[in-house]
A and B are shown apart, each in its own frame.
Chain A
Amino acid sequence: MRKTRTQTINALPPLRRRQVLAGMAGVAAAGLLPRGAFAQDGNVLKIRGNANPSSLDPATGGAGSDHVYLYNFYDTLVDWEPETLAPKPGLAASWEFPEPKTLVLKLQEGVTFHDGSPFNAEAVKFNLDRARTAGVSNIKSDVANIAEVEATDELTVTLTLSAPDTALPLILSDRAGMMISPDALGNDPEATVEREPVGTGPWTFGSWTDGEKITGSRFEDHWREGVPGVDNVEFVIIPETATGLRAIQSGQVNIAYQLDERQQQLIDKMPNLTLVSGPTLYIYQLYVNSARGALQDVRVRRALSLAIDREAYVAATQAGVGEVATMNLPQAHWAWSEAASKHVYHDPEEARRLLEEAGYGDGLELDFRGYPDQASVQRQEVLMAQWKKIGVTGRFRNAPIAEVAGAFFGEEKAGDLLLSAWTGRPDPSLTYALLYSEESYYNPGRVTPPEGYMEALQASRESTDQADRAAALARVQDIAMEAHLSIPLSIRYEVDATGEAVTDFVANLLGKPKFRDVKLG
């Protein structure tokens, strides 16, 4: 035995450089073998998903990133125009408020759920009651104004409200309006379809592998003509944006949404990619605790706002992709108001004068709070440089979102200003109620809003006419911006990339894309 081994070893040739190189080439070649196997399946729309969904049951999930998945399997009672978010018919063909506390929905005819059960008034009642009252529901507060739901006839639903609320149609374009098959839930409101969604949406659910992919295939009986545009949909879940961009660049996915603003320049340079971009409701802003020290004086808050050169801010922090924010809505929104936008502009001279008038001519030191990621720190640096010019100094204390937000908005009331963002709500009256109402969590000082604010807000919820609502909301925004209750900075733009074959994909103002009309050429 021993002899044989010795002989074998001695028989081995000495290793030469050429052989080492040949070995290396062999390893590389082995990897190249199955190249031909890689080809895009023409009838599958592959999309880079940003996060594993929290749940595919619209009433039990909690993450804002879920909608992009939910829209494929569920339709909403109310839909919206992608450019303005103005409400338009969805599963509800029409709606009206016969009186301020009653909303009547007329449903589309001939709609069925993926399991074959009919979509009718009873199904809507089941879903809305589940959202309002079930223990598993995470969206009770969204529909808190609905006191009773009645299936008036097969295709008519009557909602009785506890207070006038014309924001409700747009609330029904969100989670609360996504209709699940009651049969799939066994008619038990406490049951869930977290892993196996059954709705009326353009695709029926195929599979969900956690953190990996979600698939769906065409729902043949879908009620919209020509929808979906592609037979199968597959979400490849890639949380990291740089990896997401590489996935679309190499042709492994057809669409990548919500990429980083800085990646727009890269997308522009790639000949095989098309950029789809547009404003969203996501707005970078400073939350102000108006109950603390110098910030109780509106002149100080105004000075802080006027000192900021927002054009420079967008150029430096968003690579120029975005727009200056002059209120808590983007300019494209139906409720944006020209009059209200006049309170926010860049005028460092005026800012210095205001500070002097308020008694801070010798300088003012403030306690800023923020987040520690690189992009946030860059935003902080730009702001500090601009405030320094009017004599405002201080230091940003950074910690993870949950910790900072808890300390700033919660009981502790730590910090004067927080540099963060507002992600938007489908109806603007919700945004204004949540940001500035006296008891609202996002009003860190719990300060009473200026006179007339709550009345104007209520008025915006009493009219059903969009022009009237816009006028009422203009008043709301004018009051909030004049008092500088927050300091809006810039609007984030959707940055999506599509591959060569993709057509009919549009960005929307909510910043949560829908794919039902997309076609592969």
Chain B
Amino acid sequence: MLNPLQRRMLTRRLLQTVPVLILATFSVFMLLKLLPGDVAITLAGENASAERIAEIRQNYGLDKPLLIQYATWAWNALQGDLSSSLLSGEEVTTTLARVFPNTLFIVCYAILISIVLGVPLGILAAARAGGLADRMVMLLSSIGVALPNFWIAMIFVVAFALNRTWFPATGFVSPFEDPLRAIWYATLPAVALAASGVAEVSRQLRSSLVEILQSQHFRTLHAKGLPFRSILWKHGLRNVSVNLLTVISLLVNRTLAATVVVEVVFAIPGMGNTIVNATLQRDFPVVQGAVLAMVLTVITVNLVTDMLYSVLDPRISQQ
């Protein structure tokens, strides 16, 4: 299925992920250790004695040198054991299996909205470049890019969950349990997340399309008597597909990061909420496991994007 060039690229990319993974998890580990606060004090309770705190540190291996702690974690992680939460005792792999699909569902929903709305708006703006529609789309997308997700989220909650009770204000239903209710619960958070996505996709698509439509190549097509419609659909969109793919892959990664805030606003039991709570409580196995999962996702998205580049434009894998 893959040609030798693509296979070589895949191998190279896979090898590059190893240092990225080590660097990401190690820096998060060190950052957590730099933060003031001690999980042993949290675990020991309100009136704990110094001996009890020391005992807890010893039980959890928190008294060992930092490098040893990291190496132990990394070695276990390599064997698929991400250890357990220091606070709840739940295995980190179980936690991730529970919360990660929720985040992925909302991210995919948001990306879908970004594409479904962003692409037509971008085409519309490019096709009517300089016209009223173009200016409206650009105005809206400027607003979309400028407004923070969490603020949009809160405005949506007030408008569509409190004033008009069309959608629930908080909470989440798993798509595996009840797909329709899952969509209903995820709509407001997904739309809030997608606001900047729609803006980004339409802006980028518009500017690439406008640029291409003004190129000599397209002037020639026009001179040959091709109708504008077929120039736009047949030649224009294919030429901007690589740009669009780049925008979407960047968007996936950014949306994944934006869930940290939006999940808190909507009380969604996803990765964002898990990372925020675990960080506040210095529950480092959970933070480490979650970061590892996020990094792996980003790497996978980038890898898939790279492979798709070479499908869309074979020149890329030859370079």
Q: Which of B47, B113, B165 contacts A142 (CB 8 A)?
A: B47
In Å, the complex CA distance between A476 and B274 comes to 45
- The residues of A that contact B148 with a CB separation of less than 8 Å are none
Q: Check A504 for interface membership: any CB of B closer than 8 A.
A: no
Q: Are A249 and B162 closer than 8 Å at their CB atoms?
A: yes
Q: Are B233 and A27 closer than 8 Å at their CB atoms?
A: no
Q: Are A246 and B36 closer than 8 Å at their CB atoms?
A: no
Q: Which of A10, A31, A52, A138 contacts B44 (CB 8 A)?
A: A138
Q: Check B117 for interface membership: any CB of A closer than 8 A.
A: yes
Q: Are A24 and B267 closer than 8 Å at their CB atoms?
A: no
**Binary CB contact string for chain A from 182 to 198 against chain B (1 if under 8 A, 0 otherwise):** 00000000000011000
- The residues of B that contact A62 with a CB separation of less than 8 Å are 42-46, 48
Q: Which of A31, A135, A212, A402 contacts B41 (CB 8 A)?
A: A402
Q: Are A238 and B184 closer than 8 Å at their CB atoms?
A: no
Q: Check A33 for interface membership: any CB of B closer than 8 A.
A: yes
Q: Check B107 for interface membership: any CB of A closer than 8 A.
A: no
Residues of chain B in range 124-172 having any CB-CB distance to chain A below 8 Å:
124, 127, 133, 154, 157, 161-162, 165-171
Question: Which of A15-23, A312-320, A359-367 touches B?
Answer: A15-23
- Best-surrounded residue of B123, B178, B229 (most CB of chain A within 10 A): B229
- The residues of A that contact B169 with a CB separation of less than 8 Å are 246-247, 249-250, 252
Q: Which of A9, A52, A140, A194 contacts B233 (CB 8 A)?
A: A9
In Å, the complex CA distance between A6 and B35 comes to 59
Main secondary structure of the interface of B (DSSP, over half): helix
Q: Check B98 for interface membership: any CB of A closer than 8 A.
A: yes
Q: Which of A20, A34, A61 contacts B45 (CB 8 A)?
A: A61
**Binary CB contact string for chain B from 87 to 126 against chain A (1 if under 8 A, 0 otherwise):** 1111000010011000000000000010011001101100
- Best-surrounded residue of B37, B43, B229, B267 (most CB of chain A within 10 A): B267
Q: Are A54 and B42 closer than 8 Å at their CB atoms?
A: yes
Residues of chain A in range 383-435 having any CB-CB distance to chain B below 8 Å:
399-403, 406, 423, 434
- The residues of A that contact B35 with a CB separation of less than 8 Å are 400
Closest to A20 in B: B120
Q: Are B277 and A209 closer than 8 Å at their CB atoms?
A: no
Q: Which of A10, A14, A34 contacts B234 (CB 8 A)?
A: A10
Q: Are A6 and B181 closer than 8 Å at their CB atoms?
A: no
- The residues of A that contact B222 with a CB separation of less than 8 Å are none
Q: Are A34 and B180 closer than 8 Å at their CB atoms?
A: yes
In Å, the complex CA distance between A6 and B229 comes to 12
Closest to B190 in A: A31
Q: Check A32 for interface membership: any CB of B closer than 8 A.
A: yes
- The residues of B that contact A138 with a CB separation of less than 8 Å are 44-45, 48, 52
Q: Are B47 and A243 closer than 8 Å at their CB atoms?
A: no
Q: Check A210 for interface membership: any CB of B closer than 8 A.
A: yes
**Binary CB contact string for chain B from 165 to 196 against chain A (1 if under 8 A, 0 otherwise):** 11111110000001011011001000000000
Q: Check A259 for interface membership: any CB of B closer than 8 A.
A: no
- Chain B, interface size category, equals 35 or more
- The residues of B that contact A242 with a CB separation of less than 8 Å are 154, 265
Q: Check A4 for interface membership: any CB of B closer than 8 A.
A: no
- The residues of B that contact A23 with a CB separation of less than 8 Å are 116-117, 120
- The residues of B that contact A374 with a CB separation of less than 8 Å are none
Query: Would you give the shortest CB distance from A24 to chain B, in whole angstroms?
Result: 6
Query: Would you give the shortest CB distance from A379 to chain B, in whole angstroms?
Result: 21
Q: How many inter-chain residue pairs (CB < 8 Å) link A and B?
A: 156
Residues of chain B in range 65-104 having any CB-CB distance to chain A below 8 Å:
85, 87-90, 95, 98-99
In Å, the complex CA distance between A9 and B45 comes to 67
Q: Are B181 and A34 closer than 8 Å at their CB atoms?
A: yes
Q: Which of A24, A135, A251 contacts B117 (CB 8 A)?
A: A24
Query: Would you give the shortest CB distance from A258 to chain B, in whole angstroms?
Result: 16
- The residues of A that contact B113 with a CB separation of less than 8 Å are 27
Q: Check A240 for interface membership: any CB of B closer than 8 A.
A: yes
Q: Are A243 and B265 closer than 8 Å at their CB atoms?
A: yes
Given A17-B133, A195-B89, A402-B36: A210 in contact with B95 (beta carbons within 8 A): yes
- Chain A contact residue count (CB 8 A cutoff): 61
**Binary CB contact string for chain B from 195 to 229 against chain A (1 if under 8 A, 0 otherwise):** 00000000000000000000000000000000001
Q: Are B42 and A63 closer than 8 Å at their CB atoms?
A: yes
Q: Check B264 for interface membership: any CB of A closer than 8 A.
A: yes
Q: Check A1 for interface membership: any CB of B closer than 8 A.
A: no
Q: Are A247 and B88 closer than 8 Å at their CB atoms?
A: no
Query: Would you give the shortest CB distance from B53 to chain A, in whole angstroms?
Result: 11
Closest to A404 in B: B36
Residues of chain A in range 30-52 having any CB-CB distance to chain B below 8 Å:
30-35, 37-38, 52
- The residues of B that contact A31 with a CB separation of less than 8 Å are 166-167, 183-184, 187
**Binary CB contact string for chain B from 17 to 46 against chain A (1 if under 8 A, 0 otherwise):** 000000000000000000111100111111
- The residues of A that contact B46 with a CB separation of less than 8 Å are 62, 64, 423
Q: Check A139 for interface membership: any CB of B closer than 8 A.
A: yes
30 contacts between A and B (CB under 8 A): A6-B234, A14-B229, A15-B123, A24-B117, A27-B113, A31-B187, A32-B166, A33-B183, A34-B183, A37-B178, A61-B45, A62-B46, A63-B42, A138-B44, A139-B45, A140-B49, A142-B47, A210-B95, A211-B277, A238-B170, A240-B265, A246-B169, A246-B170, A247-B267, A250-B161, A250-B162, A250-B165, A400-B36, A403-B37, A434-B47
B interface vs A, CB < 8 Å?
35-38, 41-49, 52, 55, 85, 87-90, 95, 98-99, 113, 116-117, 120-121, 123-124, 127, 133, 154, 157, 161-162, 165-171, 178, 180-181, 183-184, 187, 229-230, 232-234, 264-267, 269, 273-274, 277
Known: A9-B230, A402-B37. 9 other contacts (CB 8 A): A9-B233, A14-B232, A23-B117, A27-B113, A30-B183, A37-B184, A210-B88, A246-B161, A400-B37
